[in-house]
């Protein structure tokens, strides 16, 4: 499985990549914000097709293009609209959760996150089997 991790903070991306690796997911591409992620998802150059991902894990609050804007763009694209999406944020308000859920996110991870909380959300999203 190939994952795209999007966050404007390198330390957060690094932590998420390390957690994913510890859970057995080693094919992870990083993007520094929503615009960078969109480029990775859509850019075609020199005959090279854009990358495809099995899951996007994105921060909500980022400069240039927010996670919510990225989610809207993904859902609005006929080739990407079915791509599973997990939102990561420190904003834990009813309004932000509802806005994300209406756009079809698979799960919502609250910062600060742990390996256990990420694993639980990957189980919820169907990317990891629950272990006892």
Helices and strands, number each (H, E), in the chain: 5, 5
Task: Encode pLDDT of 45-104 as tens digits.
Answer: 666 677 789 999 999 999 989 999 999 999 999 889 999 999 998 877 778 778 778 888
- The pTM for the full model equals 0.92
Taking the domains of the chain in order of start, what are their residue ranges? 2-124
DSSP string, 41-79: HH--BTTBPPP--SEEEEES--SSS-HHHHHHHHHTSTT
Residue 7: the pLDDT is: 97
Cα 81 from Cα 64, distance rounded (Å): 21
Backbone angles phi, psi at 125, to 5 degrees: -85, -5
Q: Which fold has domain 2-124?
A: Rossmann fold (3.40.50)
């Amino acid at each position: 499985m190939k994952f795209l991790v999007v966050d404007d903070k390198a330390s957060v991306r690094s932590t998420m990549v390390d957690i994913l690796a510890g859970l057995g997911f080693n094919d992870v591409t990083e993007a520094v914000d929503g615009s960078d992620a969109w480029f990775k998802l859509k850019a075609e150059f020199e005959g090279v097709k854009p990358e495809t991902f099995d899951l996007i894990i994105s921060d909500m609050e980022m400069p240039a293009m927010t996670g919510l804007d990225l989610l809207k763009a993904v859902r609005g694209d006929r080739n990407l609209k079915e791509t599973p999406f997990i939102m990561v944020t420190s904003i834990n308000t009813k309004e932000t959760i509802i806005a994300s859920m209406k756009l079809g996110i698979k799960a919502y991870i609250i910062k600060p996150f742990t390996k256990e909380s990420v694993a639980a959300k990957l189980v919820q999203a169907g990317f990891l089997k629950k272990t006892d």
